[in-house]
Amino acid sequence: MRYCTWGAGVVGPGCDAGGITLQDGSNGNRILNNEVGSGNGNGIFIKAHGVPCGNNNVIAGNHIHDIMYNAVELGFCTGNQIVGNNIHNSIDGIWMGFAKGNVIKDNTIANMNNHGVIVLNSFEIEVSGNQIINARDGIYFFWEQKNPGDFWWLDVNQFASRNNRIFSNTLRDNAGSGIFLENSTDNEVHNNVFANNAKNIKLKGNTNGNEIRDNQEGRVAEGFVKKFLQNFFTNLSAGL
């Protein structure tokens, strides 16, 4: 499928791997204003494994809830935008892997059993303007070693976790951390607001070259925040 638009629909249980699935190079689609509810393994799934990926799609204005696994999942893709969705009650809110140049913006993500946003082995990803509430980790970027033989259609060595931008998000009531970077380098983390997280920012492994600045913490609901990071940090391993 190419250049399709779904709008104002309700997608219910029993929809294979996802309530809405794009695969085999489904490019340039707009998935707008749908409700994707319980009973689906994934909510909205851009699928690619050894086949061409779906690039330059827009997922916007959807209500995605009570999904068994990932509310939104995509991998091996570029140029996709996930904007202005209301996502709640799943394992992971948005899962992304082996991706480049995607945008996750202005979403409300709440009550995740695992992560609000989880991004594996990806670079030049923007995560901005999101509200992420009551997950284990609000935003998690990481790299892990993969066997090249399992990914014969791409060069896994090209996919380090690096050069991502995480800014202007609100992260609240997360049991593990607001933002967690693990073996993820040369990222920009700035102008985020934290409240009532176990740790605001957690760094583990190789986190060289990250620029962490101008973030704030405080009681967001009461309108009070205070700046706690205004400097460039590198080679950090402890949480803040």
The SS3 assignment for 23 reads strand
Query: What contacts 158, CB < 8 A, 6 or more positions away?
Result: none
Separation of alpha carbons 104 and 112, rounded Å: 16
8 Å CB contact between 44 and 19: yes
Could you tell me where the DSSP H helices lie in the chain? none
User: How confident is the model over 154-166, as a mean pLDDT?
Assistant: 90
Query: Which pLDDT does position 176 carry in this prediction?
Result: 97
Rg of the Cα trace of the chain?
17
Tens of pLDDT, residue by residue over 207-217, are 999 999 999 98
- Measured CA distances, 45 to 22, 85, 97 (Å): 6, 14, 12
DSSP character for 227? E
Tens of pLDDT, residue by residue over 44-72, are 999 876 666 789 999 999 999 999 999 99
Query: Which pLDDT does position 17 carry in this prediction?
Result: 65
8 Å CB contact between 118 and 111: no
Q: What percent of the chain has pLDDT over 90?
A: 66
Separation of alpha carbons 133 and 196, rounded Å: 10
What residues does each domain of the chain span? 5-229
In this predicted structure, the answer to whether residue 142 has a pLDDT above a threshold of 80 is yes
Tens of pLDDT, residue by residue over 182-205, are 999 999 999 999 999 999 999 999
Query: Which pLDDT does position 240 carry in this prediction?
Result: 61
Query: Which pLDDT does position 2 carry in this prediction?
Result: 38
CATH topology of domain 5-229: Pectate Lyase C-like (2.160.20)
